[in-house]
Chain A
Amino acid sequence: MTDKIESIVGSIKAGFSAGEYKFRGEISLLVKPEQIVEVCQVLKDEHNFQQLTEQTAVDYWPEQKPRFHIVYKLRSLDDNLIIGLRVPLNGNAPTLPTIEGVFKNANWFERELWGMFGIHIEGHSDLRRIVTPYDWEGHPLRKDYPLGYEEVQYSFNFDEIDLRKPYAKE
């Protein structure tokens, strides 16, 4: 098993000069955003990775400098392999080409990336918000988005909060 994935990783690294990112026995390849469509196409056609199971992002603000890492996980069902791809992306006006042409289910994943992180996807057929209401402002999963707390209503401050709470009328 492991030598199969090693050979695939090796060929991608050689072909696209990608970096490597290891975590607890799983290998991820660091890819540039311009190369991602080609890498996915190569993995799907030549190495038989038929399924895109994950396409999400991680926000490392303010610790690391490329603020977003877009994480893709491709799965090969015949060979029982999972390979990860990571695309580091900057914070101001992040854009990414779409891989909708390679994997159709990237459509909703990329809509979630747009709505939750503000990563604009070029070439997407229908880029709208998917999880939040359509006219929501802000991108909730970024680290600098406020949590949206409400003051908790205990028994000692029950009456004060009761006066302020917007109860529904008939």
Chain B
Amino acid sequence: MGIEQKVGDMGVVTTSLEHVVNWSRTRAMWPMLFGLACCAIEMMSAQAANYDMSRFGMELMRASPRQSDLMIVAGRVSKKMAPVLRRLYDQMPAPKWVISMGDCASCGGIFNNYAIVPGVDEVVPVDVYIAGCPPRPESLIHGVVTLYEKVYGEKITDWA
């Protein structure tokens, strides 16, 4: 970066706006509590001490959709819950991302019946799918890191 050679220790760095905005979005992305079923337990254990998700900026999970950026749909979505899920997604302010965690949220999982929505991407648009029944906490963290790489790739023409 050119200007640093001239400025030295002044503490100035030059970069592009895109880079800064994407970097700041990934550094403090707060997920919304949306643990529906068994995958919620793995999400809780990923947030807890051993596999800490606060290292990745997810310091806390907000229960209110108005104060969160990321919705981790953890667990099976029934047809009764689907309109509620859509309403909460609509209440989140942009920029927002959705991670579909586990098999039931991605494709219906082991359920193929009248009551379960086969894949949450029929209700909300999903960015990252995580497979597993339930996915291990490391798997969830891998999914989160993949989402961060996707966010780094966002261009200024998308959100400006």
Q: Is chain A's binding surface mostly helix, strand, loop or mixed?
A: loop
A148 partner residues in chain B, CB cutoff 8 A = 112-115
B125 to A168, Cβ gap below 8 A?
Answer: yes
Q: Which residue of chain A lies nearest to B82 when distances are taken between CB atoms in the complex?
A: A133
B114 to A147, Cβ gap below 8 A?
Answer: yes
Q: What is the count of residue pairs linking A and B with beta-carbon distances less than 8 angstroms? A: 36
A133 partner residues in chain B, CB cutoff 8 A = 79-80
Check A14 for interface membership: any CB of B closer than 8 A.
Answer: no
Q: Which residue of chain B lies nearest to A151 when distances are taken between CB atoms in the complex?
A: B112
- B159 to nearest A CB, angstroms? 13
Total B residues in contact with A, Cβ cutoff 8 Å: 16
Check B61 for interface membership: any CB of A closer than 8 A.
Answer: no
Check A152 for interface membership: any CB of B closer than 8 A.
Answer: yes
B113 to A147, Cβ gap below 8 A?
Answer: yes
Out of B80, B112, B114, B125, which one reaches A140, CB within 8 Å?
Answer: B114
28 contacts between A and B (CB under 8 A): A132-B80, A132-B115, A133-B79, A133-B80, A140-B114, A145-B114, A146-B114, A147-B114, A148-B112, A148-B113, A148-B114, A148-B115, A149-B112, A149-B113, A150-B108, A150-B118, A153-B107, A165-B122, A166-B122, A167-B121, A167-B122, A167-B125, A168-B86, A168-B121, A168-B122, A168-B123, A169-B125, A170-B125
B60 partner residues in chain A, CB cutoff 8 A = none
- A166 to nearest B CB, angstroms? 5
Q: Which residue of chain A lies nearest to B81 when distances are taken between CB atoms in the complex?
A: A133
Q: Which residue of chain B lies nearest to A147 when distances are taken between CB atoms in the complex?
A: B113
Identify which of residues 81-109 in chain B touch chain A, using a CB-to-CB cut-off of 8 Å.
Answer: 86, 107-108
